[in-house]
Amino acid sequence: MRPCLRLLAFSLLSCTLVAFAGEIHTFNCTNTNCNFKAVIFCGGGDAVAKVSGYCEHCGKIVTATFPHKERMGLGPHAVARIWDPATGKTLDVFACPTCKRPFAPVEKMNYCPKCGGKTMAEGAPGLWD
Ligand SMILES: [Zn+2]
Ligand SMILES: [Zn+2]
């Protein structure tokens, strides 16, 4: 169990507790009839923290930006906290900046939200600050 737990802790750290800059993850759908693209902002820079997710109402990836005072993280900005039965973890959900409906943050995309296929491929990562 131990190596497994350490791996999990590392993967959580890599996304939620990045102190110096935020990460950008890009994904694209390999279904050529779909070509959905996603740019996911994650973590915090010096001034702001960003969180991205798919807004079902807007039908696109949206990014919410919050002040990053005192590095409190994104938790206090969540509009709700739900328990995710798929992972057994709690999940903070955030308000879409366009329509104000809640969206779940995305860190990895396996399924394409547009065509529904398991067709998402990860592109080159980047950093923002
Ligand atoms: Zn929306
Ligand atoms: Zn697709």
**Residue 122's domain spans which residues?**
2-128
20 C-alpha to center of ligand 1: Å?
A: 29
Residue 100, sorted as left (phi over 0), alpha (psi -120 to 50) or beta, turns out to be: left
Global model pTM greater than 0.85:
no
* Band of residue 18 on the pLDDT scale cut at 50, 70, 90: very low
Cβ pair 29, 114 in contact under 8 A: yes
Q: Give how many domains the chain has, as a whole number.
A: 1
Q: What is the pLDDT of residues 78-104, one digit of tens each?
A: 999 999 898 899 999 999 999 999 999
65 C-alpha to center of ligand 2: Å?
A: 26
37 C-alpha to center of ligand 2: Å?
A: 8
Q: Which ligand is nearest to the CA of 117?
A: 2
49 C-alpha to center of ligand 2: Å?
A: 28
Mean pLDDT of 21-50: 90
